[in-house]
């Protein structure tokens, strides 16, 4: 299948999705024939979602309307896509929509963002949420979540209140005058039962 995404978007997407799972052996994370555990990094997962969302926001085709599978569009393995999105779903469904979108946007910058930069990036990311939410629903960035995030962003005064909320919830940390997503891992236990 030829992806509707640009080569640059595909490279960024593939690299970020490949970095979701920590490299090297971890004695606590093992897969067995009848179940097991796996771990992935929240920051890298957010970055993978950010890169994928930015790519699909630029696609003018109705790719994500259920006619083509998301992992095919992103050109990543189905099991990688399914593992990350299913495990991460519990995280983003428990988060405030603006907090989730802010963390996704913040994860797009390795150096972090200043409050002003984050506010600008969020406004750009949330521009036209109805259209973008129809394209990125499979990343937890549904139309309803995007509209709710934009509405809250437009009414959150001052913007520092958002940063304070994210910091209090331990989603972000200061890095000088910048803010970065806190490095966390999600361990997920999978058990197969008869």
SS (H, E, C) 153-164: HHHCCCCHHHHH
Q: How far, in Å, CA of 185 to CA of 46, rounded?
A: 12
What is residue 67's predicted lDDT score, i.e. its pLDDT?
Answer: 46
CA distance 143 to 51: 18
Which tens digit of pLDDT belongs to each residue from 12-49? 777 777 777 666 555 444 444 444 556 667 777 788 77
Q: What is the pLDDT of residue 179?
A: 95
Per-residue pLDDT tens for 104-117? 889 888 899 999 99
Whether residue 122 is predicted with pLDDT greater than 60 in this model: the reply is yes
User: Could you give the CA distance from residue 22 to residue 41 in angstroms, rounded to a whole number?
Assistant: 7
The domain spans of the chain are 7-191
């Amino acid at each position: 299948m030829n992806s509707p995404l640009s080569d640059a978007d595909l490279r960024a997407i593939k690299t970020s999705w490949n970095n979701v799972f920590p490299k090297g052996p971890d004695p606590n994370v093992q897969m067995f024939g009848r179940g097991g555990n796996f771990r992935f990094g929240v920051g890298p997962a957010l970055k993978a979602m950010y890169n994928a969302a930015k790519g699909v926001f630029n696609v003018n085709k109705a790719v994500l309307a259920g006619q083509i599978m998301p992992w095919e569009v992103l050109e990543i393995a189905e099991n990688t896509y399914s593992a990350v999105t299913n495990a991460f779903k519990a995280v983003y469904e428990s988060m405030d929509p603006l907090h989730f979108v802010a963390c996704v946007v913040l994860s797009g910058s390795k150096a972090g963002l200043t409050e002003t930069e984050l506010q600008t990036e969020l406004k750009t990311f949330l521009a036209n949420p109805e259209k973008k939410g129809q394209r990125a629903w499979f990343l937890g960035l549904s139309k309803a979540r995007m509209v709710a995030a934009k509405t809250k962003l437009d009414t959150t005064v001052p913007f520092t209140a958002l940063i304070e909320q994210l910091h209090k919830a331990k989603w972000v940390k200061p890095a000088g005058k910048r803010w970065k997503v806190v490095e966390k891992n999600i361990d997920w236990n999978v058990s197969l039962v008869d």
